[in-house]
Amino acid sequence: MNVAFEVKDRDVAGRLGRLEVNGRRLKTPALLPVVNPNKPTLKPREISKLGFDGVITNAYIIRKHEHLREQALEEGVHELLGFDGFVMTDSGSFQLAEYGDVEVSNEEIVRFQAKIGSDVGTILDVPTPPDAPRSRVERDLETTLKRAREAVELDEHPPLALTVQGSTYEDLRRLCAEKLAELPAAVYPVGGVVPLLEEYRFVDVVRVVLAAKSSLPPHRPVHLFGCGHPLAIPLAVAMGCDLFDSASYAIYARSDRYMSVLGTLKLEELETFPCSCPVCTRHDPDDVREMGPRERTRVLATHNLYELRRVIETTRQAIVSGELWELAESVCRVHPRAWAGMAELARRGGELERWCPAVKRSVFVCDEVSKGRPELRLYRRRLRDRFGELSGRKVVKGISRPYAEIVEWLEPWELAFADEWLGVVPGELSWSYPCHCLVEPSGDDEGEDRRRGEEGRRR
Ligand code: GUN
Ligand code: ZN
């Protein structure tokens, strides 16, 4: 197995990276569109032209249909799909969750994925639904762990995805992640979240992902299984998820739904296309409404993929710009339940502190949620643990940033500023990170200009 994951940049707990398996490269964060090998809405070749370097398909479905199985075994899954990029395969676990049973064993499906040349193959993990009784979750978890151990021991297996399960129990998610972390995997997915996403239970998504992440090895990519929701992606990347997959681009298209910055919209209610992708530039909603069902689905699916690509690329750039928290806040504002997820992440911001970049050019603060930002928590904790005594200083309240010049008749070390966002700022730290670079609602414009420095902010 030849797998490398290289992290090139980070922000919050998110990573900009590169996953390389068997010479095939994937830039992360990445979204893998789901391709149904039986009836693809768009062909993998078409998907790759829209700017995706990888797809995910279902080995269980391939194995179940003789014509697909034979071709995949003879020529490999890449030939079968007509796509030479990164191909991850799933195992039938989702079918297991939907229909209660599958006609394949863990060993068979893992070996099969090796035989057809999957770049990453998945064990037959057991996705337990949210809120299941604890005894059932524990039982399912044992099965998932047993299958993970069985898979890594096989003489023939693809680079493996070992899925963290544990339903909505944070301690069981942590336990599962701890046990899986002892086994070698190419990718550690977090599974069983589709029902949470479908019901917009973003708070629970945040809880289970943080619990899993807390015990997974930081040098391996984490996949959020079944998450292709544009609202969830920046938030999930901020928690350290690197891979996503989406069948939603096609499922939505089949029911005339259009992904947008405003959330998912019905084709029938569109006055205009709020997008400038090639599809939306060429067509208007009336054109598309008049198309036959096949063409309409293809056109909407193509737009939906462009929209997902926009979200992923924006998220990638936000990591480089150090603005991932800002992006997640602004995207989550679109839906109150997504915002509740963001607020949960802010409440748990302490768990992200250790991943925070040491400095950045600016930190935007808007409200209580921004107060939970890991950058601010890190400052407060370090001040408490490392700075030493502040008593005896003159505390200055109610003045705006930048502080230092304001009380000129005292030396910085005789002063401390009461700060709405940071708590206390000792005079001598008032020009250092992050004290000098908060951008807050009650800004002093002159101070803002000075803080921007010579280069100015990038937005
Ligand atoms: N696809 C969506 N959710 C899951 C999951 O929990 N496990 C697997 N293997 N695939 C999925
Ligand atoms: Zn579009």
Residue 457 lies in a domain: no
CA of 209 from ligand 2 middle (Å) equals 30
Residue 10 pairs in a beta bridge with 15
Same domain, 363 and 298: no
Q: CA 49, CA 32: separation in Å to the nearest integer? A: 13
Give the ligand whose atoms come closest to the C-alpha of residue 225.
1
**333 inside domain:** no
In a domain, 350, yes or no: no
140 lines ligand 1 (CB under 6 A): no
Whether 345 maps to a domain, the answer reads no
Q: Are residue 91 and residue 208 in the same domain, yes or no?
A: yes
Q: Are residues 441 and 299 in the same domain?
A: no
Burial 222-235 (b: 16+ CB within 10 A, else e): bbbbbbbbbbbbbb
129-156 pLDDT, tens digit per residue, is: 999 999 999 999 999 999 999 999 999 9
Q: How far is the CA of 281 from the centre of ligand 2 (A)?
A: 7
Phi, psi of 57 (to 5 degrees): -135, 175
Judge if 297 and 363 occupy the same domain: no
Residue 247's identity, in one-letter code, is: A
Question: Which of 271, 297, 321 is at the close of a domain?
Answer: 321
Is the shortest distance between the CB of 226 and ligand 1 below 6 Å?
yes
Phi, psi torsion values for 134, nearest 5 degrees: -55, -40
Query: How far apart are alpha carbons 111 and 422 in whole angstroms?
Result: 54
Set 11, 90, 125, 204: catalytic member: 90
Q: What CATH number is given to the structural domain containing 277?
A: 3.20.20.105
- What pLDDT is stored for residue 39 in this prediction? 84
- Is 344 touching ligand 1 by the criterion CB < 6 Å? no
Q: Is 449 a catalytic residue?
A: no
Cα–Cα separations (whole angstroms), residue 408 to 196, 328, 391, 414, 427: 55, 40, 20, 11, 11
Testing ligand 1's pocket by substitution, the residue of 61, 93, 164 carrying the most ligand atoms inside 8 A of its CB is 93
CA of 86 to the centre of ligand 2 (A): 25
Whole-angstrom Cα distance, residue 286 to residue 300?
A: 13
91 lines ligand 1 (CB under 6 A): yes
Residue 444: what pLDDT?
59
Domain count along the chain: 2
For residue 249, being part of any structural domain is answered with yes
Are residues 293 and 398 both part of a single domain? no
Per-residue pLDDT of the chain (459 residues; tens, 9 = 90+): 689 999 999 999 999 999 999 899 999 999 999 999 888 899 999 999 999 999 999 999 999 999 999 999 999 999 999 999 999 999 999 888 888 888 899 999 999 999 999 999 999 999 999 999 999 999 999 999 999 999 999 999 999 999 999 999 999 999 999 999 999 999 999 999 999 999 999 999 999 999 999 999 999 999 999 999 899 999 999 999 999 998 999 999 999 999 998 889 999 999 999 999 999 999 999 999 999 999 999 999 999 999 999 999 999 999 999 999 999 999 999 999 999 999 999 999 999 999 988 899 999 999 999 999 999 999 999 999 999 888 899 998 877 777 756 666 788 888 999 999 999 999 999 989 999 999 999 865 544 554 444 444 433
C-alpha torsion 356→358→360→364, nearest 10? 50
Q: Which pLDDT score is estimated for 453?
A: 45
How many angstroms separate the CA atoms of 291 and 188, rounded?
42
The predicted structure's pLDDT at residue 40: 85
Buried b (16+ CB within 10 A) or exposed e, 302-326: bbbbbbbbbbbeebbebbebbbbbb
Assigned domain for 330 exists: no
Residue nearest to atom 6 of ligand 1 (CA): 191
* Predicted pLDDT of residue 455: 42
Q: Is residue 346 part of a domain?
A: no
Pocket test for ligand 1, best of 58, 91, 163 (most atoms within 8 A of CB): 163
Tell me which of 321, 339, 369 is where a domain ends.
321
Residue 459 confidence (pLDDT)? 33
Within this chain, do residues 366 and 289 fall inside the same structural domain, yes or no?
A: no
77 is in which domain, residue-wise? 3-321
- Distance from residue 283's CA to the centre of ligand 2 (Å): 9
CA 368 to chain centre: 23
Smallest-distance ligand from the CA of 97: 1
| Half-sphere CA count of 11, side-chain side, radius 13 A | 23
The full DSSP string for 96-154 is HHHHS--SS-HHHHHHHHHHTT-SBEE-----PPTT--HHHHHHHHHHHHHHHHHHHHS
Q: Which atom of ligand 1 is nearest to the CA of 122?
A: 9
Distance from Cα 256 to the centre of ligand 2, integer Å: 14
Strand 222-224 and strand 188-190: pairing?
parallel
Pairing of strands 121-122, 160-161: parallel
Whether residues 111 and 212 fall in one domain: yes
Q: Are 278 and 65 in contact (CB under 8 A)?
A: no
Q: What is the pLDDT of residue 458?
A: 36
Q: Which residue owns the Cα nearest ligand 1 atom 9?
A: 93
Give the residue from 298, 321, 344 where a domain finishes: 321
Q: Is residue 373 part of a domain?
A: yes
Question: Could you tell me if 103 and 201 lie in one domain?
Answer: yes
Residue 154 and residue 292 in one domain: yes
Nearest CA to ligand 1 atom 7: 191
Together in a domain, 265 and 140:
yes
Find the distance separating the first CA and the last CA of the chain, reported in whole Å: 43
Domain co-membership, 306 together with 364: no
Q: Cα–Cα distance between 156 and 158 in angstroms, integer?
A: 7
Residue 100: what pLDDT?
Answer: 80
Are residues 281 and 202 part of one domain? yes
Cα of 312 from ligand 2 centre, angstroms: 15
Summarize pLDDT for 397-443 with one digit per residue, the tens: 877 777 756 666 788 888 999 999 999 999 999 989 999 999 999 86
Amino acid making up residue 186: A
Q: What is the pTM for the complete model shown?
A: 0.94
CA distance 355 to 16: 13
Show the DSSP H helices in 368-441 as ranges: 368-371, 374-382
